């Protein structure tokens, strides 16, 4: 009997010990996670030609996070990055966003790579008060509020389609081709969104396009559209498409021996454009970027850190976007002294200290009504030359001022 009682007591001790140990472990998990602040990236990293842009942005973010942690972290905690690949698909991107917010408990999200994916889930982040800083995609409507006067959680440190269009239209007007310009766009959401901007800004600038033509993203022969532009007397064409389709337009120009002055979207910076067009044709379009391959010393230092991991040197601009976007968020969290989404949004809209970025110094980059950190005057005119993206300038570019960028 005594032996059984002793056994029961020992069994009870083991059970209690197990419970205490499990409680101790459960308590240790929040304690460990409380020592870090998570941010997320949600964008294409593998599926489309634009994936190299997402990969570069992540590299820039990782470099910024390493610098923040080396300097003592953020609010006394370690900053960490949770990465999700949306493989360029809106449903997957929505799923990733929900996972990052609800399961990973990130305090902010960066990306996406594709504008359409941002439009697919922007209502979610606004409902859940989750700050997003887009550091890759450029669709104009991404940072617009869900309704007039509504709190807006979508910010951007990247190119903006409408800002690019404003600069291109200003250049067209300076050339004297206001009635001899043609528009060519792909039929995707990317092309159609830009076409809307092109028509709107052309009207503001007093420009009347002589012809507007469209083509499918997978088309390889645009000679029919180009012949129509030629018949309409077009001497300057603005092409808005992804990298490979722009190259197909250039190849079609070669077929009909028709080379109007060519301006394009920044997608011509993608190595897929250069490879598909070939050196001679790739050097014809002019376009805008946030940086050329003539880098500042600070930019060179980041390139030394991440350059070997880039799919192509031309994608380095996105590493800069990634780096600067993290630094802006860090300043907002410090100012708010909080990781609450609403507090971060308010701080982003009212940053009271400049942020020294690698692209520029950001002095109050955002406001309640403007969530774009980079605008037309921050962009650089570039073109391909001997396989490099180099600055471009002529008398017209040199004469442009911010007042010319009507939009």
149 lies in the same domain as 75: yes
Average pLDDT score, the chain: 91
pLDDT in the model for residue 33? 53
pLDDT by residue (tens digit) across 31-49? 335 799 999 999 999 988 7
pLDDT in the model for residue 164? 95
259 lies in the same domain as 223: yes
pLDDT by residue (tens digit) across 260-271? 999 999 999 988
Indicate the helix (H) or strand (E) that contains 33: helix 2-33
Strands (E), 111-210: 132-134, 154-156, 181-186
167 lies in the same domain as 239: yes
195 lies in the same domain as 315: no
Strands (E), 298-405: 355-356, 361-362, 380-385, 388-391
139 lies in the same domain as 242: no
pLDDT by residue (tens digit) across 259-305? 999 999 999 998 889 999 999 999 999 999 999 888 999 999 999 99
Residue 338 sits in a domain whose CATH number is 3.40.50.2300
Local confidence band at 311 (pLDDT 50, 70, 90 cut-offs): confident
CA 51 to chain CA centroid, Å, is 11
pLDDT by residue (tens digit) across 107-150? 999 999 988 899 999 999 999 999 999 999 999 999 999 999 99
151 lies in the same domain as 76: yes
197 lies in the same domain as 238: yes
Q: Which residue range(s) make up the domain with 276?
A: 162-289+381-404
% the chain with pLDDT above 70 = 92
189 lies in the same domain as 311: no
Maximum C-alpha span of the chain: 109
Determine contact, residues 262/237, Cβ cutoff 8 Å: yes
Local confidence band at 1 (pLDDT 50, 70, 90 cut-offs): very low
């Amino acid at each position: 009997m005594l032996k059984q009682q002793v056994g029961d007591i020992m069994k009870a001790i083991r059970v209690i010990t197990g419970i205490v140990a499990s409680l101790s472990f459960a308590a240790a998990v929040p304690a460990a996670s409380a020592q870090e602040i998570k941010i997320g990236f949600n964008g294409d990293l593998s599926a489309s030609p634009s994936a190299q842009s997402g990969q570069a942005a992540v590299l820039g973010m990782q470099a910024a996070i390493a610098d923040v942690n080396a300097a003592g972290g953020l609010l006394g905690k370690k900053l960490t990055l949770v990465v999700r690949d949306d493989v360029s698909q809106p449903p997957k991107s929505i799923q990733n966003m929900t996972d990052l917010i609800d399961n990973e408990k990130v305090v902010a999200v960066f990306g996406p790579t594709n504008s359409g994916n941002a439009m697919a889930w922007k209502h979610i982040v606004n409902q859940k008060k989750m700050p997003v800083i887009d550091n890759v995609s450029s669709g104009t409507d991404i940072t617009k509020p869900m309704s007039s006067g509504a709190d807006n959680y979508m910010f951007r440190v990247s190119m903006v389609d409408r800002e690019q269009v404003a600069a291109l239209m200003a250049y067209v007007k300076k050339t004297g081709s206001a009635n001899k310009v043609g528009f060519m766009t792909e039929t995707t959401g990317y092309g159609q969104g830009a076409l809307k901007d092109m028509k709107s800004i052309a009207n503001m600038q007093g420009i009347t396009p002589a012809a507007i033509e469209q083509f499918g993203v997978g088309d390889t022969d645009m000679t029919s559209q180009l012949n129509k532009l030629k018949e309409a007397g077009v001497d300057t064409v603005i092409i808005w498409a992804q990298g490979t389709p722009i190259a197909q337009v250039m190849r079609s120009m070669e077929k009909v021996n028709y080379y109007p002055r060519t301006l394009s979207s920044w997608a011509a910076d993608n190595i897929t454009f250069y490879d598909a067009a070939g050196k001679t044709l790739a050097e014809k379009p002019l376009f805008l970027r946030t940086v050329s391959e003539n880098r500042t010393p600070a930019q060179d230092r980041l390139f030394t850190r991440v350059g070997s991991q880039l799919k192509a040197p031309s994608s380095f601009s996105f590493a800069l976007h990634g780096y600067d976007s993290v630094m802006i968020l860090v300043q907002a969290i410090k100012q708010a002294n909080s990781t609450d989404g609403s507090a971060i949004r308010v701080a982003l809209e009212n940053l009271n200290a400049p942020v020294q970025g690698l692209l520029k110094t950001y002095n109050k980059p955002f406001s309640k009504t403007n969530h774009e950190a980079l605008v037309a005057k921050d962009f650089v005119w570039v073109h391909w030359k001997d396989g490099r993206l180099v600055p471009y300038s002529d008398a017209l570019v040199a004469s442009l001022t911010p007042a010319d960028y009507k939009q």
